[in-house]
Amino acid sequence: MSQFPVRDGELLIGGIPLSRLAERVGRTPFYAYDRQLLTERVAALRAALPPSVKVHYAMKANPMPALVGHLARLVDGIDVASAGELKIALDAGADPHEISFAGPGKQQSELRQAVAAGILINVESFREVAELAAISVASGLPARVAVRVNPDFELKSSGMKMGGGAKQFGVDAEQVPALLDEIGCAGLVFEGFHLFAGSQNLKPEAIIDAQQKSFDLACRLAESAPSPVRFLNLGGGFGIPYFPGEQPLSLAAIGDNLARIAERAASELPATELVIELGRYLVGEAGIYVTRIVDRKVSREHTFLVTDGGLHHHLSASGNFGQVIRKNYPVAVGNRMPSDETACETVSVVGPLCTPLDLLADHMALPVTRTGDLVVVFQSGAYGFTASPQAFLGHPACVEVLV
Ligand SMILES: *Cc1c(COP(=O)(O)O)cnc(C)c1O
């Protein structure tokens, strides 16, 4: 994982050798996120995209407040999916005008908070429009809304499909004209559309296809809108490589295609701001999970390294967060980064939980270790800490640091 340099056999996080960082943190396990890598990631992305396309951070990927605070200064907006995330985004200093709120079951209390905050609400049902109409009358603040559309197509080759077919997300494209009528009648401030076809895609042609179809669909739906479209969120789905053989997503063709869409938007949907929303692509590669080896056991000739961390902190690395076939995340021993002469052995890295699901690396070649060494799981900046069942089995919670 070349994004983190190595010096004297130690992985460097934010320029700090891992053992020293572990001392500084004071305990293991922990997550560490590298500020500089986050900054560089956003810069590289912007360099590949047309300047008119806005970049939002979908903060469910990693809602650590310090990280959101760092990213809020780099991106154009934050997408939240609960009132809890909204609080973090507002605390981080994000401009409410550039915060949007999606999610299939927004409760009345959350909608009231969102209206009071002045953020954009991506409505996902007729009920939400009716609730917002009542809230707007009662508060005197007309709700700002966009319609989250469940498109009539799917994102091909996607790790997780979130649009097309029957879905709990958004409103089916064929029902959107009726919903737009209700938004107009209720006097809500209509601002545009939100389409999100899916996640973790490493095929530029699939992302291009989805963005193209999303734009065409938005143009068709705009004909039924109560006012001009000002905001069009084309989704994201940009993936990162997790497993052997996966290549980083190439942005060049996606950027070219977005430039063509931006040109079309200038004539077909004038005054519309184009937005893409990315979660893991912005943060996933900037983070590691660090555990300490507490035991080494040989069972019938297979070696297990037992660590103080596992599934309860990092469900996705254990293979239990949406994977169909379990594969190993990239793993290293961060205080024994290998050189050509390093002696390696094949081991499995497990956690302390009483379940065979608690597996961080299965039959992997790693340098020969000792108790106390630090096992690192890469690609851990997204869907780690908050996407894991930390209370399971009652071990201590882990720590997060931004370095
Ligand atoms: C989860 C989610 C995202 C972020 O997905 P990533 O794969 O992390 O980029 C973006 N938008 C919506 C609507 C989501 O639900």
| Assigned domain for 42 exists | no
Whether the per-residue pLDDT at 38 is higher than 80: the answer is yes
Give the mutation target among 60, 147, 280 for probing the ligand 1 site: most ligand atoms within 8 A of CB: 60
Measured in Å, residue 307 CA sits from the centre of ligand 1 at 31
Domain boundary among 278, 305, 324: 278
Measured in Å, residue 364 CA sits from the centre of ligand 1 at 30
User: In terms of domains, do 298 and 267 share one?
Assistant: no
Which range among 6-10, 195-199, 223-227 shows the weakest confidence by mean pLDDT? 195-199
Model pLDDT, residue 8:
96
Model pLDDT, residue 155:
73
Query: 356 lies in which domain range?
Result: 6-32+285-402
User: In terms of domains, do 103 and 150 share one?
Assistant: yes
Q: What's the number of domains the chain is made of?
A: 2
Model pLDDT, residue 160:
75
What gap in Å lies between CA 389 and CA 377, rounded to an integer? 17
Domain boundary among 278, 310, 333: 278
**Protein residue whose Cα sits closest to atom 7 of ligand 1:** 199
- Calculate mean pLDDT across residues 379-390: 98
What gap in Å lies between CA 114 and CA 100, rounded to an integer? 9
| Assigned domain for 43 exists | no
State the CATH number of the domain containing residue 292. Answer: 2.40.37.10
Q: CB–CB of 87/108 below 8 Å? A: no
User: In terms of domains, do 256 and 180 share one?
Assistant: yes
Q: Residues near ligand 1 with C-beta < 6 Å?
A: 58, 60-61, 79, 102, 196, 199-200, 236, 277-281, 382
What gap in Å lies between CA 155 and CA 311, rounded to an integer? 29
What gap in Å lies between CA 399 and CA 384, rounded to an integer? 12
User: In terms of domains, do 245 and 290 share one?
Assistant: no
Measured in Å, residue 198 CA sits from the centre of ligand 1 at 7
Whether the per-residue pLDDT at 162 is higher than 80: the answer is no
| Long-range contacts (CB closer than 8 Å, 24 or more residues apart) made by 391-394 | 391/312, 392/311, 392/312, 392/353, 393/312, 393/352, 393/353, 393/354
- Calculate mean pLDDT across residues 176-205: 96
- Calculate mean pLDDT across residues 173-188: 97
User: In terms of domains, do 269 and 328 share one?
Assistant: no
User: In terms of domains, do 213 and 302 share one?
Assistant: no
Model pLDDT, residue 13:
98
User: Could you read off the pLDDT of 208-221 as tens digits, one per residue?
Assistant: 999 999 999 999 99
User: In terms of domains, do 84 and 200 share one?
Assistant: yes
User: In terms of domains, do 317 and 387 share one?
Assistant: yes
User: In terms of domains, do 99 and 155 share one?
Assistant: yes
Model pLDDT, residue 153:
85
10 Å Cβ neighbour count for 134? 13
**Mean pLDDT, all residues of the chain:** 96
pLDDT category at 31 given cuts 50, 70, 90 is very high
Domain boundary among 251, 278, 305: 278
What gap in Å lies between CA 51 and CA 35, rounded to an integer? 23
User: Could you read off the pLDDT of 341-374 as tens digits, one per residue?
Assistant: 899 999 999 999 999 999 999 999 999 999 999 9
- Calculate mean pLDDT across residues 275-299: 98
| Assigned domain for 386 exists | yes
User: In terms of domains, do 290 and 271 share one?
Assistant: no
- Calculate mean pLDDT across residues 139-153: 95
What residues are paired with 274 via a beta bridge? 232
| Assigned domain for 27 exists | yes
- Report strand pairing: 54-58 vs 30-33: unpaired
User: In terms of domains, do 191 and 76 share one?
Assistant: yes
User: In terms of domains, do 172 and 148 share one?
Assistant: yes
**Protein residue whose Cα sits closest to atom 2 of ligand 1:** 58
- Calculate mean pLDDT across residues 291-297: 98
- pTM of the complete model: 0.96
pLDDT category at 154 given cuts 50, 70, 90 is confident
